[in-house]
Structure 1
């Protein structure tokens, strides 16, 4: 169409006029609205129209929230291109911008595009106020569940803003009524607006998307590997049943079934639990590890399976490895499994299919772009390496930021560079994990290939939405017959259909009362006063809690602020929360408590706390104290006894972060209001002796615990000699076996790759 949007804040001839986008914008301007629009049809343009109208008619600032830095950069680039607003007034906030600079920029900015965590932190620390924000866009709104930062920001926004208005946008809000309801409730949504590809005003802009399911057969050699694991599972499920804990589908139980049983067992650990509960949890941990290996055999490939097996074996010999991995390594069938993997030379047929499909696509259309989605990083690397051997194919791996054993993630800066190179044609195949599913604007993708189906309707819809944007696209999904691939396919198909049905019902029940007749005339929307929103009381009880900057992202900080507690964020050398001159609190989740016990850091932290404050307190938060690492309960009880008797620390337990916040606020009130005590931050982290620093450096090597570090230093005399020692020399040290020695040499001599 030749018609373009005409609006004082929209640059001429930049935004094509589409009636369905104007219709959605009109509905969104009438009330806080959840807009559901298929990927590639311009959710961001709808947001732009709403932002432009609100800024012109209401003034103030507009805030756009998006989950990741690449998406923030993408939105900022688009808004700067399309809006008739000086670029210096369109700002991006991420963790890379210092808090002090953000506070200054906030005052100058007219549109701020940010990750939600940054805005949450700045609200909590009172660096910014949402009072003059006239609009917020929540991108990828399906994330607004649980304790995600969107929920807190929305609550504070509708409490603090003079004239609040929000738009939530997503392609896939979820299939269940409960999920959709939670999103709407958390974002104070009172209207739902939906467009589908079959709607008459949308269909002219839809490009054909061919969806093809390719079935492959699991090779006999891989079936033999699976049989060995089935024998392990049969044995473990039998033992589980003998303990009185069985699952109706046995080894065919889903991951949800296993996690449900685990949660039930953990709930029985309070008080004097039956020893059978500990045994059952231990067996369940083994089942989960083996079950994951079965899934890799069925759906991934030999290289991915080998890497997972290596990690299991490494965990078994590691000092900090789980008991489940150690017991599995002693199982006869697992040992046969590890041995057979090394002999196996049959690759999963999916890899050959990928090579064939991608080669034909790029041979026929050399300028094509292809995205391959995989569930696992090991598979993405395997596919990338395989395709790189084929002339004309220029693949690149695209994964998240986290790093683990032999697997380094990508920084957000690297992610942005890869996407730009992919658009420019430097790479023509993007082999991605779930990090590429949400929002990234890659308009020229001709083929999207699922290495395996996904059971999530949200992820499936977003993956498919990466193609068919500017021209016809193709989606191919690989399915291994007779495996969980097929179960995931049917699960996802059912959820997608249910989501479409549910969304139509929601739209009918929450439809806007406005007619939207004059939308095209500068949108023609009259603003409706928002009513019926929750009334939040701003209670200032005069209580202040000083918390360490590392605690700012915890739900505890958010809950304290909601209770009316004044928060002061500082870098604390001792403690996590300070509530008076004599009372400081160290907070640890149950899992963190056990981990700090294993790495010997706990006693140093508590010693510093007790040496600096007269009333030191340790809060242990949540479940899993006796199950996260399956330590002997006597070891945990002994540690707690030492903390109380030897260090004079009060040990308190809470259910969750909200419970912790409530306890801290009561402690602060008791100290500051009842006892009239002032807050005083003091205490220094004790410095380690030279010998302790040396032990720390050596024990940072994977698989080397504090005891092994001492043995190595005692044997070789100093760190330099430890680092220079070869495998034979290392194995002469007590408790250093061949595998540990080989692992040390690999870490010390391997080339560093970013």
Structure 2
């Protein structure tokens, strides 16, 4: 007989009572806890139990954070279904909601389910406070490293809340001691609670998961294509060696090692007086990375995926701002041969046929099955989707992230949610997905998961496998191409998974030993505080810094607040940061600086800044300034000289967002002193000067670029004269041919039809 959880805030007969979940929830209620539980065993139920208890005992609100909108909506629907609360008390927060509306909803809601970026933004803009939050659950807690939003929210929560308690849940915290320790430190974890499939209270709920490895051979025709790429790679490696940069493992040097060497080269550029060979080496490194990726694609993905990648390389090489590396690579004899032979190649990677056969066999034997095929690359996802759609009774759908690029449009979050719903309902029976589907999606009926290729990450491998075997037995098939990096990834992932399980157990034992020491230290701290009641609290209010709304996307604002600044976020017409009535700061990451220079925005922004404020500062953040877009260093030096001398703007360089924040804080302290006078940002962007407006009007005509528009205006003297000129007169102007002249007259003279 099934027993159900009984709690005033949990609807009767809605959640099955499992002892391991009650045990984990009990531990999580005693102190902030990292819960590690295999996928499909109800981590969300553990969160539900903790949340319901805190809601009942404190009367305050609780928050659950999840990394993506589909997961947020999934969790919100679950809590609405399970909790004895009014529908309007369970709130869903995503970036689609206007900030002002979120602020009002925050006041009324008792359960807030949100993406972390939204909560971080609302904290920085002071729309919300975590003071009255009784509990926060961090879903997919392995993400809480580096500058991810989880780390900032946790820090603010433990600073603001009177009785903070957090629960971190994950199936895969990472294989290294450092990674697990970083997650625990970021989220203020005091205890780790682990359940594995071998535990006696978990074993009855485990469904068998059959894992198969299918080994395939790369066809001779594809080996021949790979041979062309090998020649390109060997040539670049040899040239790099001649310049004094030797790759330790030649062609087998990992991408991580290549990127490390690239960073070293960029560091030498910033040294002040680099050897000219460094520029050539960086360009060669870019070619090596592109050629190496192409080899990985042909080895592990297929001809179709490689053809798409080469098409993008060719397009990149033909663009106006193409780098020397892109042009040189596509002019290479072997790359030209590759491009030609790809169009004639009749072979395809055996993985494609194998996937089709495996999926067809599964759906033939069980027509109600759901199948997920995971691929590393979008090109492959599209190729697999197209191939499966040719098979009767298979209804596949591609499931990718939001970003779009050439011939590759992403999915909006709304589209992602709709696809998952259709997949659950059976309108689609195969989901062909990239990494976006790895985390958390609850699709109980998934019977088969196919890895188009192994992945070296133990976290992602566990997440992928966890999409099956949730409610009944499941099957996982991993495709491996013999003699390629597929095999290296296979062994890497297996070893890391094994290491992770051992590290989790070890960490659990270590924290259990340390718990008594921590309790003793806290007691000593409390006893010392008893003697400090008469001490006047220090004035913790730091200097005021006003930041532009768009700067929330960077981590500078977070670091400013962390460093003690009194931060306010507004929409600034001019500048990124204002630290006094007289001083404004423009911040640009090195890549953004170069892009702004190329696009012609840089001097307009600096002009607006100097026109509005008495003193202006430009902060250039990060390295790679001289190889961000392969622009001539003389152009960058010239721009910086003009900014410094013509616009009298101080230029300062910082290594990262943390250093930028520290610098802005020091400027604010020095300028404001002890008085801390309130700041009133002022100024608006200057309207484009008349000549620019005239150029804009003329260049709006199709087939006319900015230079052609300037030529026309210089020749005829006004917009009106350009519009009145006949075709013969127009053709007299440089860059205006017969077709362009005819087009201008067509636009000017044709009747408007709406």
TM-score (norm 2): 0.90
Structure 1 residue 43 displacement after superposition? 0.3
5+ residue gaps, structure 1: 516-526, 722-729, 737-754
Structure 2: how far apart are the matches of 1:733 and 1:389?
Answer: 53
The residue aligned with 1:456 is 457
The residue aligned with 1:724 is none
Structure 1 residue 504 displacement after superposition? 0.8
- Computed over aligned residues only, the root mean square deviation of the Cα atoms, in angstroms, reads 2.9
What does 1:138-217 align with in structure 2 at a 5 Å threshold?
138-217=138-217
Structure 2: how far apart are the matches of 1:734 and 1:354?
Answer: 54
With over 3 angstroms needed to count, the CA separation of the structure-2 counterparts of 1:606 and 1:696, relative to structure 1, is farther
What does 1:554-573 align with in structure 2 at a 5 Å threshold?
554-573=554-573
With over 3 angstroms needed to count, the CA separation of the structure-2 counterparts of 1:735 and 1:73, relative to structure 1, is farther
Structure 1 residue 630 displacement after superposition? 2.2
8 Å CA contact retained: 1:174, 1:180: yes
Deviations 1:68-101 (A, max 9, x none): 1111111111111111122211111111111111
What does 1:20-419 align with in structure 2 at a 5 Å threshold?
20-270=20-270, 271-419=272-420
With over 3 angstroms needed to count, the CA separation of the structure-2 counterparts of 1:117 and 1:468, relative to structure 1, is same
8 Å CA contact retained: 1:93, 1:113: yes
SS at match of 1:313: helix
Structure 1 residue 697 displacement after superposition? 6.0
Structure 1: how far apart are the matches of 2:447 and 2:705?
Answer: 51
8 Å CA contact retained: 1:215, 1:479: yes
Structure 1 residue 125 displacement after superposition? 1.5
8 Å CA contact retained: 1:400, 1:410: yes
Higher relative contact order (CA 8 A, sep 6+): 1
Structure 2: how far apart are the matches of 1:599 and 1:540?
Answer: 43
The residue aligned with 1:725 is none
Deviations 1:703-754 (A, max 9, x none): x986588689999999xx9xxxxxxxx9x99699xxxxxxxxxxxxxxxxxx
Structure 2: how far apart are the matches of 1:368 and 1:487?
Answer: 32
The residue aligned with 1:2 is 2
Structure 2: how far apart are the matches of 1:593 and 1:407?
Answer: 27
Structure 2: how far apart are the matches of 1:231 and 1:708?
Answer: 43
The residue aligned with 2:596 is 596
TM-score (norm 1): 0.90
8 Å CA contact retained: 1:9, 1:84: yes
Structure 2: how far apart are the matches of 1:130 and 1:711?
Answer: 60
Structure 1 residue 182 displacement after superposition? 0.3
The residue aligned with 2:18 is 18
What does 1:354-753 align with in structure 2 at a 5 Å threshold?
354-511=355-512, 540-673=540-673, 678-688=678-688, 689-694=692-697
Structure 1 residue 564 displacement after superposition? 2.2
Structure 1: how far apart are the matches of 2:195 and 2:698?
Answer: 62
SS at match of 2:358: helix
8 Å CA contact retained: 2:69, 2:115: yes
Deviations 1:11-35 (A, max 9, x none): 1101101111111111111211100
Structure 1 residue 187 displacement after superposition? 0.4
With over 3 angstroms needed to count, the CA separation of the structure-2 counterparts of 1:597 and 1:697, relative to structure 1, is farther
Structure 1: how far apart are the matches of 2:675 and 2:498?
Answer: 61
Structure 2: how far apart are the matches of 1:279 and 1:399?
Answer: 36
With over 3 angstroms needed to count, the CA separation of the structure-2 counterparts of 1:531 and 1:197, relative to structure 1, is farther
Deviations 1:232-287 (A, max 9, x none): 11111111111111111111111011011111111212211111222111100110
SS at match of 2:440: coil
8 Å CA contact retained: 1:320, 1:705: no
8 Å CA contact retained: 1:93, 1:114: yes
Structure 2: how far apart are the matches of 1:140 and 1:83?
Answer: 22
Deviations 1:511-531 (A, max 9, x none): 38999xxxxxxxxxxx99987
